[in-house]
Amino acid sequence: MFVHNTATLPTKLIDPMAGEANPDRTSDKNLIVYQDENDDSDHILDGEMTPAQLAEISNYFVTLLNDHRQSLGLNPVQLTTEGTQVAQFIKNFRDQYQVSWTHTPMFDLDTGQLFQTDAEKQADSQKFGQMVQSYGLDWKSEDMGMVANQSTPGYYTMAEMKSQIYAVLEQMIYDDEGSNNGHKKSLEDPTATYVTLDINDMHDAAQNQNFGGHNYDVIIEMMGALPNKMAADYHVIDPSSALTIINTARAKYGASQDELTQQSNLHAELAKVQAIVNLQTAVTQASDQTQTTAAALKQAQSEYQGLQENMNTIGSVEQVANPDLARNQDKLTQAQAALKAAQEQLTVLQKQLALDEQISAKLSTLTAQAQQLTTELASLQEQATTLSHQLDLDTKELQRRQLRLKQVEALTNIMIQPNQTTINSDNSDTNTSPGSAPQNTAKEVVASTDGDQKPTSERQPDSDSIQLANSAANDRGVMVSGDSQSEQGQASVETASDSPAKLNVGSRLALFGTGPLPNSGTDVSALAKTEATDPAKSQYRAVKYAHPQKGSQWRKDLLLGASAVVGLGILSFGTFWLRKG
């Protein structure tokens, strides 16, 4: 089909291989060919396309693209002022760095350098996307074609350029298998909503020479809206002027009825051819299916005959095998019963095994607890041994203290409970207090010791007794002295003063083994001296109180000391057991 001028430009894309049974969609076949005839459209000088000319060609391009997208049920794409700004940026970049015949995102937008590695390619692509976003659009893909082989050196007419754009778009959609249908998929992207077109002068002189005349790169950017943008935020350009221009041209040329009829007839013929091709394809497929079905039927019949023969053979064998079959059936029944019993037994064993595992787990736990208790028992036994040893020591200490206490009690009894003593005096040194009752004369002192009836002359005082007596008497100014080495066991009595001390009623002279003194008025010094010089009484020791009015106080102090000793022993023993507990 020929395009001679604007009036003969097609307004719909037509598949150039429609009706072909096995079309070759890598052949770059063109349906229309430009041939100048009464073409009075504007001229595009080499490399000097004006913005108005680019806008008119863009409108024609988007008219063709949207007709195709709508035939597929896709949304139309729109031209916008923002998209035009993106196209201008691309034009300026490619002019600045003399870029030709290569996709723009493959270059570094800052340096114009072509990427060398995959990482650089990814980085450059990201930069390009960011550039498009700066104009408020979301970049999706770039498609690139070429306009070449101008009919008249030095310029293109607008009708010729539009026919070239038609050819580029036709090849990208219907003849793109050589590019893995990448252009087709891009132009049919259902998420794309905006598009822009840049027809940029090809700066490659070698390419211009190869194709003859001046050539152009056709660059298409498919885009969408940013998430934060609404449709009302974009300035949409109405492409309807493209059809207006074509219709005006047709009216000017008397509608070019013959050419329009030729186009209409061509479309009708192509539709008929496509229908015939589709019918032939269906018939071929049906024939192939019929042949396949016949072959399958034949195969099925062959298999049926084989099965029938096998059934006959089986019937013959069955007659022979029936007795064996009955026996085998009995064996099978028995085997099934045995199997069932074995399965039941297995179930029982499995339950028992589960129980044994539980018991084993509990046993392990109890063993661990027993080991822990054994360890604790050993520790307790060790503590018991220590406590037993300490108890032995405490028992011995208690026995020692009890023995000491008995000694103290014995000494205390000797000092507190003296035997009745009869004192006769042949001299007149004993005086009586005025008004007091007559005193018995001290003539002889008889004492009994710890249960034995030995006379006091046979008892010898020990050093502990003397020390204890001194300790009890020191607070009251009394000194007791004894000489255990004397054959006579003579005891000397030292008084606290040279003057005789008179005893009040109830006062006592504490002698070892003696009883109560006579009533008050007795001269203690004289009595002591008398007994000290008497050989029969030399074993006695006298204790004189410097303060007779405190006659019974020393006994109380002695009992208090003994009680303190016992209390301290009991307190120590109780403290030890509390610490061990």
Q: How many Å apart are CA 174 and CA 28, to the nearest integer?
A: 9
Number of domains in the chain: 2
pLDDT higher at 580 or 250:
250
Considering the domain boundaries, does residue 350 fall inside one? Answer: no
Residue 200: inside a domain: yes
pLDDT tens track for 261-307: 665 566 566 656 656 666 666 667 766 777 777 777 777 777 777 77
Q: Residue range 113-126: average pLDDT?
A: 88
Q: Please, which residues bridge with residue 199 across strands? A: 218
| Residue 385 burial (10 A CB sphere; 0-12, 13-18, 19+) | exposed
d(CA 490, CA 481): 10
Q: Which domain holds residue 442?
A: 422-550
Q: 526 lies in a domain?
A: yes
Give the model's pLDDT for residue 155. Answer: 87
Given a contact cutoff of 8 angstroms between Cβ atoms, the answer to whether 122 and 116 are in contact is no
Q: What is the pTM of this model?
A: 0.47
**Domain termination site, one of 234, 252, 270:** 252
CB atoms closer than 10 angstroms to residue 86: 22
Which parts of 412-548 are beta strand (E)? 422-423, 443-444, 479-480, 493-494, 510-511, 542-543
447: confidence class by pLDDT, cuts 50, 70, 90: very low
Phi-psi label, residue 484: left if phi above 0, alpha if psi -120 to 50, beta otherwise: alpha
CATH number, domain containing residue 160? 3.40.33.10
Of all residues in the chain, the percent with pLDDT exceeding 70 is 64
pLDDT band of 485, cuts 50, 70, 90: very low
Helix, strand, or coil (residue 85): helix
Say if 272 falls within a structural domain: no
Q: From 219, 252, 285, give the residue that closes a domain.
A: 252
What tokens were used for 508?
Answer: 């006592």
Query: What's the average model confidence in pLDDT over 197-213?
Result: 76
Tell me if 238 is assigned to some domain. Answer: yes
Report pLDDT digits (tens) over 390-422: 888 988 989 888 888 888 878 777 766 544 444
User: How many Å apart are CA 215 and CA 202, to the nearest integer?
Assistant: 6
Cα–Cα distance for residue pair 195/216, rounded to 1 Å: 19
Q: Look at residue 468 and tell me if it is in a domain.
A: yes
CA–CA distance, 127 with 105 (Å, rounded to integer):
8
Last residue of a domain, one of 223, 252, 281: 252
Q: Answer yes or no: is 497 within a domain.
A: yes
> With the CA atoms of 127, 130, 132 and 133 taken in that order, what torsion angle do they form, in degrees rounded to the nearest 10?
180
The answer to the question of residue 195 being in a domain is: yes
Residue-wise burial string across 145-158, b where 16 or more C-beta atoms lie within 10 A, e elsewhere: bbbbebeeeebbbb
Is beta strand 2-3 parallel, antiparallel or unpaired with respect to 33-34? parallel
How confident is the model at residue 212, as a pLDDT? 65
